[in-house]
Chain A
Amino acid sequence: MRVAVRRSLREGPYLFVVPALLLFFSFFLYPAIIGFFYGLTGLDLRKGTSLDFIGLKNYVEALRDPLMQAAFRNSLYVAVVSSPILVFGGLTSALLVAKKGLRGKAAYATIIILPVAMPTIATSMIWEFIYDSQWGAINTILERSSLGFLTTAWLHNPTTALTAIIVTYCWTFIGFHMAIYFSIIQSIPKSIPEAAAVDGLSEFQIVTRIIMPLLKPGFGLSIVNTVAGAFTYFDFVFLMTGVSGGGGFTWTDTMILWIYRNGIAFLKIGYSSAGAAYTTLVVFALNFVILRRLKIW
């Protein structure tokens, strides 16, 4: 009897994580590993389904591919630009919304959170209208305020296209990051910032010395999300410039678009898998370094 109880106590906890582990293994770990192996084969669905082993050829070729280099640069650019905006924007929004007795904060929170709930196809259409070169809102405003020399075809200009997409991306997801920080701020007992106020801390000091350190887990989640998103977020890039292929794929394609094009459009599964494996490694490494730096791990 006692032995049985002990055994079930020892094994019981593992039983509870089985469903989650099963999902994780079958939909995340297994595809990642199998993808790595596909990358070692010349699998090309145009030619058939043969899995002929070709060693690291795909991996070497992908590194030399100027389209992949461009996609990698673009992804890095998205990460570097969008992460600070989303993290800082989400954090300040959350602090504002959590502030006691601030007027209009409910309206503000609603406006910020709304785009998260909007279908991405609708969001990208709205922004395509805004960016339109002839009758888009931005160009119209620029012309009316005699800044006509600044007008451009925002989504079809190599210097502005990717940034324009980043703006849409950040506009959409600031609400999500606000929600992350807001939920943590709400979970901090009210007495803690109050104790700090009585202790003589200014409002700014309360934020920097008390609230921000307590938001650390939120920073972790938020940053991992933005960095991974820069490499793997598909919708806006594909919908706003990706369908047409941008300017020969190099202006706006991020890693996920490169993988998609090679794998799904061109059916070069082996080759695109090599790129996917690189993406996984890079995202993992970047997040590892960042989290280590922030001492979240």
Chain B
Amino acid sequence: MVDVVLREVSKSFQEVKAVDGLSVKIDDGEFFTLLGPSGCGKTTVLRLVAGLETVTKGEIYLGEVRVNDVPAKDRDVAMVFQDYALYPHMSIFENLSLCLKVRKVPKQEIRQKVDEVAELLRIGDLLSRKPSQLSGGQQQRAAVGRAIIRKPKVFLMDEPLSNLDAILRVSMRAELIALQKRLGTTLICVTHDQVEAMTMSDRILVMNRGQVQQLGTPREIFSHPANKFVETFIGTPPMNFVECDLLEKEAILDAGEFRLEVPGYLRSIMTDRKLEKLVVGFRPDKIIVYTRDPPEHAIQARVFVREELGNQAILSMRIGEYIIKSLVAEDVLAKPDDTVWFLPRENSLHIFDKKTETSIAGCE
């Protein structure tokens, strides 16, 4: 159990920079998640820590030890692969015990440890089976078992839940959190699923194109996204964005048919920056939709699509060239082509500089 430090780590594959100057310190015992779209370099980071790839530049430390030149087999990390990578010709017992066997652990002790882990993960009755005879969820448990059995310094998990069906994924998510807390081992998890990242992690590192977008707790990332990319990535459905000019005198954000009065607390921040082109973001669940009797400043729009979720619905509303998505209660009965009015909730606006796409102001 150690902390993991990456210092200015870069990894290139021929011309492609998969990881570009990444520095981060992952604390001992932390549940740390690398979040980003596919191809963003998050899996490469994990493989660099595991020793399956070597860094092009920079340094990696496990605890006090610089591991740049330490081969994977000597790093004492454990990894759960996306496809689980169980050894197909071995029984689950052999899968779990191989790492102990090559370390010359006595047979008695192996038996005991396998039993312990099997009980913890409830796979005791599967030990004599081959991986191909197991369901996806059972294979996943076996793969986790293989990782935890030798008490490694760090756990690495590459999309551990992505091959499971929706219901199983939710329950395994909870189990993983509990397991990690119980074992207290540093865990680095890679996922493209923001819900997974939000629910499981102590801290999240959002990556895009090999670079760090934001590092923080789930709450920080959700409430104070550092830039437009992070904003789009967190939250389902994603945040709405409207490009606006700031009409300074009236403090109104103007984008043709979309005119929105700037709440008082934002006015000074925005006028101080002297920016004219802005992007305004607001989350679908922070919009009030009126089917009739709109208040004075509400914005008129036409319903485009209604997606039913059961207790809620997603309304896509067309206004000018924009489609605004809104999460509404089931009793908002707007159908396609109905005219509706909406207003983003006060205190829910996120303002970005259009040029740099970095956050200027915003708060939940």
A binding-site residues for B, Cβ under 8 Å? 189, 191-192, 194-202, 205, 209-210, 213-214, 216
Given A210-B87, A213-B89, A214-B88: A199 in contact with B99 (beta carbons within 8 A): yes
In the bound assembly, the distance between CA atoms of A191 and B87 in angstroms comes to 10
B74, B85, B102, B150: the one contacting A195 at CB < 8 Å is: B85
Q: Which chain B residues border A205 with CB–CB below 8 Å?
A: 102
The stretch of B76-84, B223-231, B245-253, B329-337 in contact with A is: B76-84
Q: What 4 additional pairs, Cβ within 8 angstroms, besides A194-B85, A195-B86?
A: A191-B81, A197-B72, A200-B73, A201-B102
- State which size class the interface on B falls in: 20 to 34
In the complex, the answer to whether B52 meets A192 with C-beta atoms within 8 Å is no
Q: Which chain B residues border A189 with CB–CB below 8 Å?
A: 83, 85
Given A199-B99, A200-B103, A213-B89: A194 in contact with B81 (beta carbons within 8 A): yes
In the complex, the answer to whether B98 meets A198 with C-beta atoms within 8 Å is no
Answer whether residue B328 sits at the interface, using C-beta atoms and an 8 A cutoff. Answer: no
Q: Which chain B residues border A192 with CB–CB below 8 Å?
A: 85, 87-88
- Per-position contact with A for B38-72: 1 when CB-CB < 8 Å, else 0? 00000000000011100000000000000000011
In the complex, the answer to whether A197 meets B85 with C-beta atoms within 8 Å is no
In whole Å, how far is B175's beta carbon from the nearest beta carbon of chain A? 21
Q: Which chain A residues border B75 with CB–CB below 8 Å?
A: 198
Given A191-B81, A195-B79, A197-B73: A209 in contact with B88 (beta carbons within 8 A): no
In the bound assembly, the distance between CA atoms of A197 and B73 in angstroms comes to 5
CB nearest neighbor in B for A201:
B102
Q: Which chain B residues border A199 with CB–CB below 8 Å?
A: 73, 78, 98-99, 102, 146
5 contacts between A and B (CB under 8 A): A195-B81, A197-B71, A200-B73, A200-B150, A214-B89
- Per-position contact with A for B133-167: 1 when CB-CB < 8 Å, else 0? 00000000000001000100000100000000000
In whole Å, how far is A214's beta carbon from the nearest beta carbon of chain B? 6
CB nearest neighbor in B for A193:
B85
5 nearest A-B pairs in the assembled complex, by CB-CB distance:
A191-B85, A195-B85, A199-B99, A197-B72, A191-B81
In the complex, the answer to whether B99 meets A200 with C-beta atoms within 8 Å is yes
In the bound assembly, the distance between CA atoms of A189 and B74 in angstroms comes to 22
In the bound assembly, the distance between CA atoms of A285 and B50 in angstroms comes to 49
Q: Which chain A residues border B102 with CB–CB below 8 Å?
A: 199-202, 205
B binding-site residues for A, Cβ under 8 Å? 50-52, 71-79, 81-83, 85-89, 98-99, 102-103, 146, 150, 156
CB nearest neighbor in B for A192:
B85
CB nearest neighbor in A for B103:
A200
In the complex, the answer to whether A198 meets B83 with C-beta atoms within 8 Å is no
A196, A198, A213: the one contacting B50 at CB < 8 Å is: A198
In whole Å, how far is A77's beta carbon from the nearest beta carbon of chain B? 34
In the complex, the answer to whether A198 meets B72 with C-beta atoms within 8 Å is yes
CB nearest neighbor in B for A214:
B89
CB nearest neighbor in B for A191:
B85
In the complex, the answer to whether B73 meets A198 with C-beta atoms within 8 Å is yes
In the complex, the answer to whether B103 meets A196 with C-beta atoms within 8 Å is no
Q: Which chain B residues border A191 with CB–CB below 8 Å?
A: 81-83, 85
In the complex, the answer to whether B79 meets A198 with C-beta atoms within 8 Å is yes
In the bound assembly, the distance between CA atoms of A192 and B81 in angstroms comes to 9
In whole Å, how far is A169's beta carbon from the nearest beta carbon of chain B? 32
Query: Which residue among A191, A200, A209 has the maximum number of chain B CB atoms within 10 Å of its CB?
Result: A200
Q: Which chain A residues border B73 with CB–CB below 8 Å?
A: 197-202
In whole Å, how far is A186's beta carbon from the nearest beta carbon of chain B? 15
In the bound assembly, the distance between CA atoms of A196 and B99 in angstroms comes to 8
Q: Which chain A residues border B150 with CB–CB below 8 Å?
A: 200
Q: Which chain B residues border A194 with CB–CB below 8 Å?
A: 52, 72, 79, 81, 85
In the bound assembly, the distance between CA atoms of A213 and B102 in angstroms comes to 17
Given A205-B102, A209-B98: A198 in contact with B78 (beta carbons within 8 A): yes
In whole Å, how far is A100's beta carbon from the nearest beta carbon of chain B? 10
In whole Å, how far is B110's beta carbon from the nearest beta carbon of chain A? 14
CB nearest neighbor in B for A197:
B72
Q: Which chain A residues border B50 with CB–CB below 8 Å?
A: 198
Q: Which chain A residues border B88 with CB–CB below 8 Å?
A: 192, 214
In the bound assembly, the distance between CA atoms of A72 and B71 in angstroms comes to 52
Query: Which residue among B78, B79, B81, B85 has the maximum number of chain A CB atoms within 10 Å of its CB?
Result: B85
In the bound assembly, the distance between CA atoms of A244 and B87 in angstroms comes to 54
In the bound assembly, the distance between CA atoms of A209 and B98 in angstroms comes to 9
Q: Which chain A residues border B74 with CB–CB below 8 Å?
A: 200
CB nearest neighbor in B for A198:
B79
Q: Which chain A residues border B77 with CB–CB below 8 Å?
A: 198
In the bound assembly, the distance between CA atoms of A201 and B52 in angstroms comes to 13
Q: Which chain A residues border B85 with CB–CB below 8 Å?
A: 189, 191-192, 194-195
Query: Which residue among B71, B74, B76, B98 has the maximum number of chain A CB atoms within 10 Å of its CB?
Result: B98
In the bound assembly, the distance between CA atoms of A194 and B150 in angstroms comes to 17
In whole Å, how far is B109's beta carbon from the nearest beta carbon of chain A? 16
In the bound assembly, the distance between CA atoms of A213 and B95 in angstroms comes to 14
Q: Which chain B residues border A196 with CB–CB below 8 Å?
A: 87, 98
In the bound assembly, the distance between CA atoms of A260 and B156 in angstroms comes to 64
In the bound assembly, the distance between CA atoms of A195 and B90 in angstroms comes to 14
Q: Which chain A residues border B82 with CB–CB below 8 Å?
A: 191
B51, B86, B103: the one contacting A198 at CB < 8 Å is: B51
In whole Å, how far is A188's beta carbon from the nearest beta carbon of chain B? 9
CB nearest neighbor in B for A216:
B89
In the bound assembly, the distance between CA atoms of A202 and B101 in angstroms comes to 13
CB nearest neighbor in A for B101:
A209
CB nearest neighbor in B for A212:
B89
Q: Which chain B residues border A201 with CB–CB below 8 Å?
A: 73, 98-99, 102
In whole Å, how far is B157's beta carbon from the nearest beta carbon of chain A? 12
